[in-house]
Structure 1
């Protein structure tokens, strides 16, 4: 039966859900409060430079392929993918770095050169990681988190211990070199928790990294948003921007309409891809499934302080993706998760898309994105942003042996206050709810409201979790659940 479906937000999960629901034959409209679509994956254009405001890593290409294949399409129908070679570089000190190749055999050689015997250990670790990837990404993450029994399969039964161990211990059992340990712990940061709080099973992220490689869509991650917009419109989806949702109106436990810019818009089914906590705040108190205390007690993935910088020259001694792990990882992690505060010596990440993509910056110039992971909810004031930019750019110059400060044409920043203002993000989190053992699958906030019969949620605070590929999957899961419940 054809239904009027109203979707809040236009991020990856909302766009995915819209396409699947339109494919089912429904009349689908997306409402986006900002002037441009994409949610956290919007774009900044300035003085001939182009920056992805949000995600910059394209991992798990198979998930994107599976998404487009569901509509008899391919990513290449919409955008060009470039495999990064090398994938990325990790700095540990002045001229002290490890370059991660675009293929596993070379990465194994790199490990062996750093720690004798580690090549074979990495090979064995990656076989296990690939096995976990096959179970997780091809099967488990495509389940809606309705029941704990979803996690019980013949394959997971064999790996039950991996749900109770943690990545950090597993890696340290095999490797002793601190650089290799940090490189192997890095991918799980995408899941939003400390490696010591992330179940061993999530080693599948290491296969996503070393096994499948790191990619760049030409013109940036926003190309994927534009591709999904085009697909959605081809399927008949209507997208309305500058449309602020003020309320979800409920009567007799049924969501009847949305209040959009002061106007009532009726719908048979409401799907919110906005921040889950914010989405529930649009409901009267009695219809909210999760209390403020519930949200206070969740482990949230970090927020970020981001800088988008235009340089008037090419930057040397860096790759497209460069990580700066020259300070204590554990201390920074404690400042995010254990005792939230601004870190004294933060690790940081830098991306230079113009190394790969000439469209990212004018000729002879460089576009730079710098990111510092932070605890959500920190006080965010301009003076602190400036202080931290000075910290990291000074370290950047020292570590890469070059001067860049006087080559800055402009810089824009984005931090906790912006995540709240632009995305209604709970405490200004950047990546949603962390994937810890007690926040996995059926233990995450539900795709379907417990109190409102025709209200659904999608995105990084629900199933399956944070990251762009999981967001695509979340859109599919909610559309499938709606089909099942009609």
Structure 2
């Protein structure tokens, strides 16, 4: 369906919202984006303070082909829009020291040379790693061809020859947890942790993620980890440029209170069609198409009346929101050579850590595994001279009652206690005993901040976890069953969590509107291929 002469409103100016707006504008729609916060970026926003630049959320640039494809659809390229740096090592891993060890044992994982790290952890594992990576690459390619770029509006893509031929293997991968899959191939607990940790990028734990997701090891161990110089705010800036160049208008500080509809009959299940959105100040923005690019739970349970919800509250009662997080942004005086750009810090008792977050008696894990990003190791521009910018992410239960963060220790007690513990652990494992005294800027963010600022379900950090029943066609669909003209984008819907998935979700909105049930990326028009080249 052509967008010429039609008006679209996109709710949310995060990565998915901006990307969707850019593509809709190129389809001919008159597009306006409305964002409740006073800045754009959503989870990918940035915070600048006293010469430090902090990414507030995403910090791993993976699946670069997805970014480049999106930009080519917009008549440009990732190469033209971003200054990308390949990280070496891709990341460093610190393991909780055992009794008598001084500092935490560490390994550097290098793209294309992961065998070095795995041989250090489990001598003789190279052949098994080769087989694991072959399997990972095959699963990755299959997902790109058949499962990521589809709306699942038609079963045709699921019964193609390629999928049917691999059906027995797919069934095994879906029916086996990532943890069991890895454990069957590697004996060393630390090697298992390295290969199991990608489940956290999916909002879950290795024992809850299907082993199909071992495909993510191809992304970091073989394809490589990049970094956009200037931080992930540079990615958001590029999306704003591409959207506004196509005529998109972005309005911040604007909260949507409802989707305006009129009754509609004639299609199975459809009860209404959109005519616009209502804003908190009483204004109504007219629209032929509305795209909810924020949290799907909020959109379905707050903005829509119950009789029009595809996913009412009772649907969410049996779903998994994923994990929450305490984020700690630190500006540190002096250098920290023990840290790489990306550093993972793993506790020995891996299962206790995840059981605390996802188990029946949910609580903040103690001790906790966590992730540290130190972009100033790569990009001196994000910190003053002779200082480091640190971003710590500590997974905790998705529970807003844990509290909110604040500046200079002013957050809620439980949030600040998590931050203090992570700083102390990092100081010990990285052998920087004076780390806390060298902090000159400190800001924390807790689950309550995610719930308030991002309307995130249960204060979830990333979105609904990629468990089996929340992946692929089991995940929330990207079009309302009850309201014609209401579509969804972002991490809550297909294909899922992460910046590449959010860019793909923008393409899936276009596919829905076109009635395109293909399983591959949208073709780049010839005129745009010439421009991008």
Q: TM-score, normalised by structure 2?
A: 0.88
Aligned to 1:60: 63
Greater shift, 153-162 or 292-301, is seen at 153-162
Q: Secondary structure at the match of 1:141?
A: coil
Of 81, 84, 94 in structure 2, the residue corresponding to residue 81 of structure 1 is 84
Checking the alignment, whether the CA contact within 8 Å between 2:133 and 2:217 is kept in structure 1 is yes
Residue 303 of structure 1 deviates from its aligned partner by 1.2
Checking the alignment, whether the CA contact within 8 Å between 1:377 and 1:416 is kept in structure 2 is yes
- Equivalent positions of 1:75-474 (< 5 A) are 75-92=78-95, 93=97, 94-104=102-112, 106-157=113-164, 158=166, 159-160=169-170, 161-252=172-263, 253-260=272-279, 261-280=281-300, 281-339=302-360, 340-381=362-403, 382-402=412-432, 403-474=434-505
Residue 147 of structure 1 deviates from its aligned partner by 4.4
Checking the alignment, whether the CA contact within 8 Å between 1:327 and 1:345 is kept in structure 2 is no
Q: Secondary structure at the match of 1:463?
A: coil
Q: 5+ residue gaps in structure 1?
A: none
Residue 283 of structure 1 deviates from its aligned partner by 1.3
CA distance in 1, matches of 2:241, 2:92: 34
Checking the alignment, whether the CA contact within 8 Å between 1:301 and 1:433 is kept in structure 2 is yes
Checking the alignment, whether the CA contact within 8 Å between 2:293 and 2:490 is kept in structure 1 is yes
Q: TM-score, normalised by structure 1?
A: 0.96
Checking the alignment, whether the CA contact within 8 Å between 2:146 and 2:157 is kept in structure 1 is no
Residue 327 of structure 1 deviates from its aligned partner by 3.9
Greater shift, 189-198 or 39-48, is seen at 189-198
Checking the alignment, whether the CA contact within 8 Å between 1:89 and 1:323 is kept in structure 2 is yes
CA distance in 2, matches of 1:114, 1:284: 55
Of 47, 50, 54 in structure 2, the residue corresponding to residue 51 of structure 1 is 54
Q: Secondary structure at the match of 1:350?
A: strand
Residue 452 of structure 1 deviates from its aligned partner by 0.5
Checking the alignment, whether the CA contact within 8 Å between 2:326 and 2:419 is kept in structure 1 is no
Residue 4 of structure 1 deviates from its aligned partner by 0.3
Alignment root-mean-square deviation, CA: 1.5
CA distance in 2, matches of 1:43, 1:348: 20
Checking the alignment, whether the CA contact within 8 Å between 1:304 and 1:371 is kept in structure 2 is yes
CA distance in 1, matches of 2:228, 2:185: 35
Once the two structures are superposed, what CA deviation does each residue of 1:38-78 show, in whole Å capped at 9, x if it has no partner?
11110000000000001111111111111112233211211
CA distance in 1, matches of 2:249, 2:352: 47
CA distance in 2, matches of 1:421, 1:196: 30
Residue 154 of structure 1 deviates from its aligned partner by 3.0
Residue 23 of structure 1 deviates from its aligned partner by 1.1
Q: 5+ residue gaps in structure 2?
A: 264-271, 404-411, 517-533
Checking the alignment, whether the CA contact within 8 Å between 1:246 and 1:262 is kept in structure 2 is no
Checking the alignment, whether the CA contact within 8 Å between 1:7 and 1:270 is kept in structure 2 is yes
Residue 410 of structure 1 deviates from its aligned partner by 2.0
Residue 305 of structure 1 deviates from its aligned partner by 0.3
Number of aligned residues: 484
Once the two structures are superposed, what CA deviation does each residue of 1:381-416 show, in whole Å capped at 9, x if it has no partner?
411122112211111111111121111112111111
CA distance in 2, matches of 1:78, 1:401: 39
CA distance in 2, matches of 1:145, 1:342: 37
Residue 148 of structure 1 deviates from its aligned partner by 4.9
